[in-house]
Structure 1
Amino acid sequence: MTFASIFRPFSAPNSPFRQISGAFVILALLASCSSFQLNPPTVPPSPADRAQVIDDRQIVALVATRSAADSLQTKAEARGFVTREVVPLERLGLRMLSFDIPQPLDGAGAITLLESLEPGATAGVNHAYRLTQIEEQAGNRFDYASRMIGWTAGACRAHGPIGMLDTGIDEGALQPSGAEVTERSFVRGGDVPEQHGTDVAMLLVDPDRLRDVTLYSAAVVGQTSAGREEAGVDAILEALDWMASNGVRVVNVSLAGPYNKILDRGIDRAAALGLTIVASVGNDGASASPRYPAAFNNVIGVTAVDASEAIYRNAVRGDHVDLAAPGVDVLVTAQDGQRFVTGTSVAAPFVTSRIAADPSLQSGGTLATIRNMLRGQAKDLGPAGFDGTYGAGLVQAPAACL
């Protein structure tokens, strides 16, 4: 399996997600982060990235206060924008506004105008993120993943709730794990797929690795009328706000897509609140540009390797890769039998579980502390030292609970 990108699941080579055809702009002002600096993409966005949006006649704005939101709404409507919705993101300290763009403005013109209307506001399109799709096949191969990273002596207790941004899930499939699951959908219309999210969730709550798990599952990926599975920045930010409101400290994200400055600011705010976000780097291949959110500085990016510790052939490379984890032909046991799944989406849950299992990481450690500890304990792969293929190397199971 392989999940798509921001904000669709990363797609596998045999089932690539199509480009998103809409446009969405977000305006953001973070009062509590007045010194916030946007992290420009490491490579310029491609024309394909610029076209990868939810709705090309929609623009979204983020501001920090209710008064700023009221002011922006009034000024924008006076310029011909039509308000679609205003959503308070209370825990993130933001207000998100969505508008229809008036003719003859395009997305770029709408961004410029909205940012000029309210001091400190940030505008950007509502990029679509796709799942890092998962390849599946049946078989009776040996279940190597836990043993490979040293997680063989028994399950660790989860020290705090785990969050997940993905498709919907089949809660019945998770019942044998004993996990306490809370699910909420942030999809705006359309069907909500379940397979991808269910596979990822089953890896996160696997009772052979973790016990006493509380999982908050945010469905952000919906299926469009064109048959595409994708998530918008607006859904992702609402889901992160929900996670923060419920005391979630570590969040698994198997989505990838282009750089988006609204997502940049939202994740920066989530990180400032203590959320550690673990994201799959994407399945677009070695020559692809960095995919986000994995490429953000305040996100832990995870790539996939096989049982021989070789890199997954479709994994994205780059200096933003922090760690590697099993992600090729990993066994998933479901109600309808066993199957093997592949993709960087499969690898990320092993790192998320590793963080959740360690009380020193889950209960107050900073992102820098968590990243440095995980990197320091990783098994070096490939060229000696840190590299853009494997990062610091293969994640290792926690020793404390074993």
Structure 2
Amino acid sequence: MIKRPTFHWLMVPALLIAPGLAQSAGPGDLLNGQIDGISKQVERRAEALVERKVAERTRERVVNADELPEKLQGQLSELLPVRTRDGETAFYETLQSDGSRAVARQWLITATAEELDRLRRPGVTILEQQKLEGLGLTVVRFQVRPDIDSRAALKKLLPELSERLDRNHIYSPQSRASGAVPNRAETTTASLCPEPVRVGMVDTLISEEHSAFEQAKIVQKPFLTVANQTGELTAPRAHGTAVASVLVGQSTAQSQPRLPGATLFNASVFYEGSEATSGATLAHLLEGLNWLAEQNTSVINISLTGPDNRILATAIKNLQQKGPMLVAAVGNEGPAAPPLYPAAYEGVIGVTAVDKAGALYRWANRGEHVTFAARGVNVPVAHPNGGFVQDSGTSLAAPVVTALLACSLPRMSNEQAIQALIERAEDLGAEGRDPGFGHGFLDDQSGRFKNQPAG
């Protein structure tokens, strides 16, 4: 989850947008320092407004009503086409009432061959059926008529299957490459362990040709095909390249990769939508997780977020039963935002970001699902076009915890590895586990982690 851009120049217009907020603070509150919290809320509102305007202008620019199916033309303001590299429209993104994104009119369901017959109803078109053996699931992707494109309608149509279906949601790395600044600091990292560990990652494509990965062993597989379409979706590279550089890359000649002996398996699941959007459909995300489940990885890094989803929850639970630990960024939606997934699922290790001083990243999500904090602010990362930049976000903190676990698991059980990190975490918030820092800050470059404990 790489950082969001800031818009300090919008503070005055934002105050006009939210007069009630500005008037609610009396002189005493301001003198007590409350103006800082109000300013952050106002800035957050301003930033959200700008992002909505960017998305609206993008839709106006790239969507042509003549290209839409007749029944979808009435939803023009809520639709955004996603195209293949050949320029063909693969599907349409749509904004849901809860603010999440999904593939328009597409749903997924876990079903047996016998249950598949029950889907053959008027208004339902079966698009694809996949047996994901690594996840222990058979998933069917189907499309519905606009008049039955809701959970209530499908529950009435398919009452016996309604608890095992959900939308083909879209998950986002929230990459903000334009917010990155050149890396001028000479930051060095030390190796955490030399063992030949196997680590998984689900993200964008990685620019393997970057100098940061000269010594790295990276195996990638793209999951960007769309059934009944020719060609693949366009694969972005910035987010995955940045995250991978934290895991197995070198930022300077003096630094060492955190995991010099690792083999990194990367499932490339994110498509490039437009200059303002990117995402991964749930269907592609499941394919990527399924492949990683078959690579005998000890830990999987998931630096993406999205809504709660019945199918994803089942896949995560099944994946955990197979053995690999799952580490996920908690997200960059802000302290007041609701939990994001998969970080908020039980058993997933949710990671937040802090800066050099140990302060929480200003946009980091908070909640009981936060397990650990790690350095994720102004981190030197590889840029896909070469060179390095400094960037921020919970996406860049998650791979630090992934690396620490990968070094522990050859000698420990999953439970022992977690307990070892809890014992070495620096308690920065309220005493004990708290919604901001979780169990505490893991400084992987401190003396606490110079020697991995023997199991």
Answer yes or no: is 1:311 the counterpart of 2:360.
yes
Q: 2:167 maps to what in 1?
A: 125
Select which of 325, 328, 331 maps to 2:380: 331
Answer yes or no: is 1:208 the counterpart of 2:250.
no
User: For the residues of structure 1 that align with 2:129 and 2:363, how far apart are their CA atoms?
Assistant: 39
1:225–1:265 distance in 2 versus 1, CA, 3 Å: same
Decide whether the 8 Å contact of 2:165 with 2:311 is kept in 1: yes
Deviation readout 1:33-68 (Å, 9 max, x if unpaired): xxxxxxxxxxxxxx96635232231111113xxxx1
1:204–1:226 distance in 2 versus 1, CA, 3 Å: closer
Decide whether the 8 Å contact of 2:428 with 2:440 is kept in 1: yes
Q: 1:149 maps to what in 2?
A: none
User: For the residues of structure 2 that align with 1:362 and 1:261, how far apart are their CA atoms?
Assistant: 32
How far is 1:235 from its partner? 1.4
How far is 1:390 from its partner? 0.8
Greater RCO (Cα-Cα under 8 Å, separation 6 or more): 1
Deviation readout 1:152-200 (Å, 9 max, x if unpaired): 4x45124521111111111111674422211111124431100111111
Answer yes or no: is 1:341 the counterpart of 2:388.
no
Q: Find the residue that maps to 1:218 and give its secondary structure.
A: strand
User: For the residues of structure 2 that align with 1:59 and 1:202, how far apart are their CA atoms?
Assistant: 35
User: For the residues of structure 1 that align with 2:423 and 2:158, how far apart are their CA atoms?
Assistant: 42
Higher helix share: 2
* Pair member with larger Rg: 2
Q: Give the number of aligned pairs.
A: 355
Deviation readout 1:236-267 (Å, 9 max, x if unpaired): 11111101111112111111122112111110
Q: 2:350 maps to what in 1?
A: 301
Select which of 101, 125, 133 maps to 1:53: 101
Measured on the aligned residues, the alpha-carbon RMSD in Å equals 2.9
TM-score, reference length from structure 1: 0.80
User: For the residues of structure 1 that align with 2:121 and 2:100, how far apart are their CA atoms?
Assistant: 29
1:248–1:178 distance in 2 versus 1, CA, 3 Å: same
Decide whether the 8 Å contact of 1:156 with 1:401 is kept in 2: yes
Q: 1:382 maps to what in 2?
A: 429
Q: 1:100 maps to what in 2?
A: 143
Answer yes or no: is 1:278 the counterpart of 2:327.
yes
Segments of 5+ residues of structure 2 without an aligned counterpart are 5-46, 60-77, 81-94, 227-231, 250-255
State how 1:171-210 maps to structure 2 within 5 Å.
171-173=208-210, 176-187=213-224, 188=226, 189-206=232-249, 207-210=256-259
State how 1:6-155 maps to structure 2 within 5 Å.
50-63=98-111, 68=112, 70-109=113-152, 111-113=154-156, 116-118=159-161, 122-134=164-176, 135-143=179-187, 146=189, 152=190, 154-155=191-192
1:155–1:299 distance in 2 versus 1, CA, 3 Å: closer
Decide whether the 8 Å contact of 1:22 with 1:51 is kept in 2: no
- The residue identity in structure 1 corresponding to 2:109 is A
Select which of 347, 350, 358 maps to 2:400: 350
Decide whether the 8 Å contact of 1:159 with 1:363 is kept in 2: no
1:94–1:305 distance in 2 versus 1, CA, 3 Å: same
Segments of 5+ residues of structure 1 without an aligned counterpart are 5-12, 24-46, 147-151
User: For the residues of structure 1 that align with 2:213 and 2:183, how far apart are their CA atoms?
Assistant: 22
Decide whether the 8 Å contact of 2:180 with 2:391 is kept in 1: yes
User: For the residues of structure 2 that align with 1:114 and 1:97, how far apart are their CA atoms?
Assistant: 17
Percent of aligned positions that are identical: 32
Q: Which moved more, 1:170-179 or 1:388-397?
A: 170-179
Decide whether the 8 Å contact of 2:108 with 2:311 is kept in 1: no
How far is 1:371 from its partner? 2.8
1:333–1:229 distance in 2 versus 1, CA, 3 Å: closer
- Runs of 4+ residues over 6 Å off in structure 1: none
- The residue identity in structure 1 corresponding to 2:159 is S
